[in-house]
């Protein structure tokens, strides 16, 4: 408050006035007291409104049935039940009437058969033929009673009640974003075979502790890089490049099976898929030009064959058979039922298979038991436009069905949303390079439990982590 002999905004007289810092008006002392009283009354009004609203919230918490949407759902339920009950009554009436006529017909046949039995008994002249006839007639009548052919239930394809659903109007961004400068969490020390180096890493797997398992392609080994460590540990492939047991030859992808703590490896140039469990190696599948692996929620194993241009599925424990073709298998080509050098794969909750169709510069989605796929990313020729890809590699799909692709030749990671004709650049896309915001021919992709994005930055021989922006 400041004392000034100015005009009061209420009585319009020149008096010693006081400035109200809320409304920035000058009041004489009497009018200031009245102004203050008005403010106190408004505060009490706000408190009353608050108390009433709080009471309403408490009542709805105690009695959620009073919520207006619940009442609408209850009304829909009552109306629908009335319709269903009326339909059921009509159908029952039809069945009752038809059954009465039907049973009368059965009874007539049964009475006729009874007359024949009485006649045979009275004449006392019968043989095996007569008995077989009576027996067969009785069987026919019984079958007719048990399986009436003149009635059946037909279900309409269109519902006769109005279906409802609850739609949330809350607008939430479904598009995650990541920091554009990455942190190198493995490798990044040049091309080499030391424990802190890679030679063209390919596949990747992240566990719940953020430990990273990497297929180190030209070092013929699988490395585990524990979180925040400066070098990795060789867990498979310490014995050099060869095809004997305990050796690898250009591995391209891995699956870490958390349930039995095993590692499944696409031992690409040895043309086999192997499993490493408790330091013991087992060959699961031989004579297969495997490149990438995936496993669905039921534990079925999926493998892309880059020479046969197909993806096959194997059941747990039945790896000695040929598996089942779930995508491709119709020769090399660019038709919807064909693939051309399939690379990485991903399988969603519905057992749909997503394939980076490398030489067709597209990502295909093959639904379970489908005879052909659909293009869900790229498919517009090789290029760098937002509707194009260039020899795509890694592919993963998030819980919202958004597809992430390692756009190998464009040195970027793209995201495609369902039904969109163009994708968007998630990270990278700043030209080929080794800066934190650049990539050089990316391969595998993975998310950790927090949604951070990990990228195998292949020709930079490093693993890059892009932190999610919360």
Q: pTM above the 0.85 mark?
A: no
Residue 131: predicted pLDDT? 82
Q: Which residues contact 329 (CB under 8 A, 6 or more apart)?
A: 308, 309, 310
Res 4 pLDDT > 60:
no
Q: Which residues pair with 263 in a beta bridge?
A: 256, 276
Candidate from 241-255, 422-436, 441-455 with smallest mean pLDDT: 241-255
Asked if the structure places residue 69 within a domain, the reply is: no
Residue 40's pLDDT band (cuts 50, 70, 90): very high
Note the pLDDT of residue 171: 44
Q: Does residue 151 register a pLDDT over 70?
A: no
Q: Above pLDDT 90, what percent of the chain?
A: 54
pLDDT at 182: 95
Whether the predicted pLDDT of 149 surpasses 90: no
DSSP per residue, 276-338 = EETTEEEEEEES--EEEEEE-TT--EEEEETTTTEEEEE-TT-TTS--EEEEE-S-BSSSTT-
Specify if 67 maps to a domain: no
Instruction: For residues 238 and 130, state if they share a domain.
Output: no
* 342: phi then psi, degrees, rounded to nearest 5: -65, 140
Residue ending a domain, choose from 171, 192, 217: 171
Q: Looking up tokens 């990270």, which residue turns up? A: 427
Tokens of 96: 């009752």
Residue 189 has pLDDT above 80, yes or no: yes
Task: Please state, in angstroms and rounded to a whole number, the distance separating the CA atoms of residues 136 and 139.
Answer: 5
**Structural tokens at position 42:** 């408004």
| The domain boundary residue, chosen from 111, 140, 171 | 171
Q: Is the pLDDT of residue 47 over 60?
A: yes
| 408 and 332 fall within a common domain | yes
pLDDT of 373 reads: 95
Q: How far apart are CA 443 and CA 220, in angstroms?
A: 17
Question: What's the whole-number mean pLDDT along residues 362-368?
Answer: 95
Whether the predicted pLDDT of 458 surpasses 50: yes
Q: pLDDT tens digits for 115-133?
A: 888 888 888 877 888 887 8
- What lies within 8 Å, CB to CB, of 433 at 6+ separation is 411, 439, 440
387 and 314 housed in the same domain: yes
Domain identity same for 378 and 421: yes
**DSSP for 377-397, written as a single string:** EE-S-BSSSTT-BSS---EEE
Same domain, 116 and 34: no
| CA distance linking residue 397 with residue 418, whole number of Å | 11
State whether 53 and 90 are in the same domain. Answer: no
337/326 Cα distance (integer angstroms): 11
Whole-number pLDDT of residue 172: 44
- Both 449 and 302 in one domain: the answer is yes
Domain of residue 17 covers 6-62
What CATH code is carried by the domain that includes residue 310?
2.120.10.30
C-alpha to C-alpha distance for 295 and 367, rounded to whole angstroms: 15
**Is 385 a member of any domain?**
yes
pLDDT category of residue 167 using cuts at 50, 70 and 90? low
Query: 48-52, 169-173, 370-374: which has the minimum mean pLDDT?
Result: 169-173
Confirm whether 350 is domain-assigned.
yes
What pLDDT does 124 receive?
81
- Residue 122, pLDDT score: 82
Which of 144, 171, 198 is the last residue before a domain boundary?
171
Shared domain check, 356 and 266: yes
pLDDT at 1 (0 to 100):
44
For residue 1, tell me if it sits in a domain: no
**Is residue 147 classed as helix, strand or coil in its secondary structure?**
coil
Mean pLDDT (whole number) for 146-175 = 64
For 8, 223, 266, 267, 386, the CA distances from 189, given in Å and listed in that order, are 77, 15, 25, 25, 32
Sorted by sequence, the CB contacts under 8 Å of residue 118 that are 6+ apart come out as none
Q: 318 and 400: one domain? A: yes
Q: Cα separations (Å) of 429 from 126, 144, 323, 377, 410? A: 97, 74, 39, 17, 7
pLDDT at 150 exceeding the cut of 50: yes
Q: Domain check: are 148 and 241 in the same one?
A: no
pLDDT per position as a tens digit, 392-417: 999 999 988 899 999 999 999 999 98
Q: Over the stretch 63-74, which tens digit does the pLDDT of each residue have?
A: 765 567 777 888
Answer whether residue 304 is part of any domain. yes
Looking at per-residue pLDDT, the higher value among 234 and 318 belongs to: 234
Q: 129-133, 228-232, 362-366: which has the minimum mean pLDDT?
A: 129-133
pLDDT band at 312 (very low <50, low <70, confident <90, very high): very high
Q: Same domain, yes or no, for 110 and 56?
A: no
The pLDDT tens digits for 330-342 are 999 999 999 999 9
Q: What is the mean pLDDT of the chain?
A: 87
Q: For the chain, what is the domain count?
A: 3
If asked whether residues 318 and 279 sit together in one domain, one would say: yes
**How many angstroms separate the CA atoms of 273 and 287, rounded?**
9
Helix, strand, coil percent values for the chain (each to nearest 5) = 25, 35, 40
């Amino acid at each position: 408050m400041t004392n000034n002999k100015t005009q009061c905004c209420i009585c319009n007289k020149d008096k010693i006035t006081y400035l109200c810092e809320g409304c920035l008006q000058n009041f004489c002392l009497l009018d200031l007291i009245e102004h203050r009283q008005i403010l106190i009354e408004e505060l009490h009004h706000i408190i009353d409104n608050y108390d009433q609203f709080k009471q309403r919230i408490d009542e709805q918490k105690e009695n959620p049935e009073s919520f207006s949407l619940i009442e609408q759902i209850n009304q829909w339920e009552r109306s629908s039940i009335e319709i269903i009950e009326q339909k059921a009554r009509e159908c029952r009436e039809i069945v009752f009437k038809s059954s009465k006529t039907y049973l009368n017909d059965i009874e007539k046949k049964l009475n006729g058969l009874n007359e024949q039995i009485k006649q045979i008994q009275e004449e006392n002249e019968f043989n095996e033929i007569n008995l077989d006839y009576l027996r067969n007639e009785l069987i026919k009548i019984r079958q007719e009673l048990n399986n009436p052919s003149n009635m059946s239930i037909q279900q309409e394809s269109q519902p006769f009640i109005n279906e409802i659903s609850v739609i949330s109007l809350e607008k939430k961004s479904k598009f995650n974003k990541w920091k554009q400068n990455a942190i190198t969490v493995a490798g990044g020390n040049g091309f080499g075979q030391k424990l802190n180096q890679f030679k063209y890493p390919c596949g990747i797997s992240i566990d719940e502790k953020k430990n990273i398992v990497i297929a180190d392609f030209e070092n013929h080994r699988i490395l585990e890089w524990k979180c925040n460590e400066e070098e990795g540990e060789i867990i498979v492939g310490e014995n050099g490049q060869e095809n004997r047991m305990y050796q690898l030859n250009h591995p391209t992808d891995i699956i870490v099976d958390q349930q039995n703590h095993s590692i499944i490896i696409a031992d690409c140039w040895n043309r086999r898929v192997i499993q490493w469990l408790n330091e013991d190696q087992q060959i699961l599948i031989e004579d297969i030009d495997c490149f990438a692996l995936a496993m669905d929620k039921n534990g079925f194993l999926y493998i892309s064959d880059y020479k046969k241009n197909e993806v096959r599925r194997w059941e747990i424990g039945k790896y000695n058979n040929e598996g089942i073709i779930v995508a491709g298998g119709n020769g090399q080509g660019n038709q919807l039922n064909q693939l051309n050098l399939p690379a990485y794969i991903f399988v969603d909750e519905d057992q749909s298979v997503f394939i980076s169709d490398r030489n067709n510069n597209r990502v295909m989605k093959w639904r379970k038991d489908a005879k052909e796929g659909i293009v869900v990313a790229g498919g517009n020729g090789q290029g760098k436009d937002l509707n194009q890809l260039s020899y795509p590699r890694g592919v993963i799909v998030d819980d919202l069905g958004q597809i992430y692709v390692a756009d190998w030749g464009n040195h970027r990671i793209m995201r495609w949303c369902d039904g969109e004709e163009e994708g968007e650049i998630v990270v990278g896309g700043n030209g080929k390079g080794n800066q934190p915001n650049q990539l050089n021919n990316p391969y595998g992709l993975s998310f950790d439990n927090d949604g951070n994005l990990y990228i195998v930055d292949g020709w930079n021989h490093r693993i890059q982590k892009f932190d999610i922006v919360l």
